[in-house]
């Protein structure tokens, strides 16, 4: 018996770019197909229309993310043979950068709200391609309606369940995928600036929501940026959780009507535009501050 035998991970020799592409492909389709099969088994074809099974829908969504995103990510890392702690940045974060990241997530919200509103106003008033745009909008409206039913809660215990399913679960599962497996492997072959931007864009595309693409890219890049410079996935989890928690809390406090019918006019246009502009300025200042703190801490963080 050879006592000097050393286990070699099956995917350790795979080219990094191919490993990233394979991982994203497998997890995307595993999540879509696996989640779809479980949904069909328990709810049939009525996921969008059967409001009576909201609790079951929440459980299915949460289970699917853990089973078909987080679990495959951990298995892929084992097959790759990489150090678990290094891949997923399981380190104590730089707390000043984390704090500024939290500030950034909060201050960017008015800009995102304004951007989505004005973007949709422009898109839905275009003279060309309205049939295609309206078809996409109808599909997304159905999805948004189903999602909003999942977010709405009528008591504190139900709100806690909503927060677990729609804020905490994706914050953990998606961060281990994007700011863990993807970010760490991309960092081996690409410049840090490219890694941060590309990881954020992939994160946005993963959500399959064309009308929210730009806000998702901004959020994805920012969360990656803070995770990278704080050197901790905990930062990404907290920021991701906070962003989703803000939405859930807003629905809990104000109700879903303000989100399904966001009609504004007159002075409200200007107020939304101005608050969005101020929000963007404050957010940009926060990003600049984080970067300067990071390069003073470690010169290797310099993009130049």
Three-state SS for 67-79 is HHHHHHHHHHHHH
What does the pLDDT read at residue 1? 44
Is 209 strand, coil or helix?
A: coil
DSSP string computed for 20-88 = HHHHHHHHHHHHHHHHHHHHHHHHTT-TTT-GGGHHHHHHHHHHHHIIIIIHHHHHHHHHHT--HHHHT
Structural domain contains residue 24: no
pLDDT digits (tens, 9 = 90+) for 180-224: 999 999 999 999 999 999 999 999 999 988 889 999 999 999 999
| Tens of pLDDT, residues 49-91 | 555 588 888 899 999 999 999 999 999 999 999 999 999 999 9
The model's confidence at residue 256, banded by pLDDT at 50, 70 and 90, is low
Residue 240 has pLDDT above 80, yes or no: yes
User: Given a cut of 90, is residue 100 above it in pLDDT?
Assistant: yes
Domain-embedded: residue 107: yes
More confident residue, 260 or 151: 151
Task: Say if CB 90 and CB 233 are below 8 A apart.
Answer: yes
Q: Is residue 275 part of a domain?
A: yes
pLDDT band at 16 (very low <50, low <70, confident <90, very high): very high
Question: 230 lies in a domain?
Answer: yes
Report the 10 Å Cβ neighbour count for 292.
10
Cα dihedral sign for 134, 139, 142, 145? negative
The confidence score (pLDDT) of residue 8 equals: 82
Is the entire prediction scored with pTM above 0.85? yes
Establish if 41 belongs to a structural domain: no
Residue 146 confidence (pLDDT) above 90: no
Report the pLDDT value the prediction gives residue 37, as an integer from 0 to 100. Answer: 84
Q: Which domain holds residue 127?
A: 85-301
Structural domain includes residue 226: yes
**Cα separation, 130 vs 125, whole angstroms:** 8
Indicate the number of domains in the chain.
Answer: 1
pLDDT at 149: 81
Is the confidence at residue 163, as pLDDT, over 50?
Answer: yes
How many other β-carbons are positioned within 10 Å of the β-carbon of residue 29? 11
CA distance 77 to 208: 25
- pLDDT of 170 > 60? The answer is yes
241, part of any domain: yes
Q: Which of 230, 107, 110, 125 is nearest to 179 (CA)?
A: 230
Q: Is residue 45 part of a domain?
A: no
Give the pLDDT of residue 181.
98
Using a pLDDT cut of 90, give the percent of the chain over it.
63
């Amino acid at each position: 018996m050879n006592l000097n035998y050393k286990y070699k991970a099956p995917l350790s020799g795979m080219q990094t770019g191919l490993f990233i592409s394979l991982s994203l492909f497998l997890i995307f389709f595993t999540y879509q197909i696996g989640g779809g099969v479980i949904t069909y088994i328990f709810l049939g074809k009525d996921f969008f229309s059967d409001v009576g099974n909201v609790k079951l829908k929440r459980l299915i969504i949460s289970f699917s993310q853990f089973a078909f995103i987080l679990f495959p990510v951990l298995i892929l890392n084992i097959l790759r043979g990489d150090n678990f702690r290094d891949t997923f940045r399981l380190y104590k974060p730089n707390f000043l950068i984390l704090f500024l990241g939290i500030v950034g997530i909060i201050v960017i919200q008015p800009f995102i709200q304004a951007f989505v509103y004005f973007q949709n106003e422009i898109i839905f008033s275009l003279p060309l391609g309205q049939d295609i745009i309206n078809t996409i909008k109808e599909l997304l409206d159905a999805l948004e309606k189903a999602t909003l039913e999942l977010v709405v809660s009528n008591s504190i215990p139900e709100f806690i369940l909503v927060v677990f399913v729609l804020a905490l679960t994706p914050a953990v599962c998606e961060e281990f995928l994007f700011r863990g497996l993807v970010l760490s492997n991309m960092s081996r072959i690409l410049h840090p600036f490219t890694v941060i931007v590309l990881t954020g864009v992939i994160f946005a595309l993963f959500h399959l929501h064309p009308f929210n693409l730009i806000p998702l890219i901004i959020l994805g890049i920012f969360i990656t940026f803070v995770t990278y410079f704080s050197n901790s996935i905990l930062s990404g989890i907290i920021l991701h959780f906070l962003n989703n928690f803000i939405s859930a809390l807003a629905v809990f406090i104000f109700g879903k009507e303000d989100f399904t019918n966001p009609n504004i006019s007159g002075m409200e246009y200007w107020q939304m535009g101005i608050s969005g502009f101020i929000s963007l300025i404050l957010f940009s200042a926060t990003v600049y501050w984080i970067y300067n703190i990071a390069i003073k801490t470690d010169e290797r963080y310099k993009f130049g």
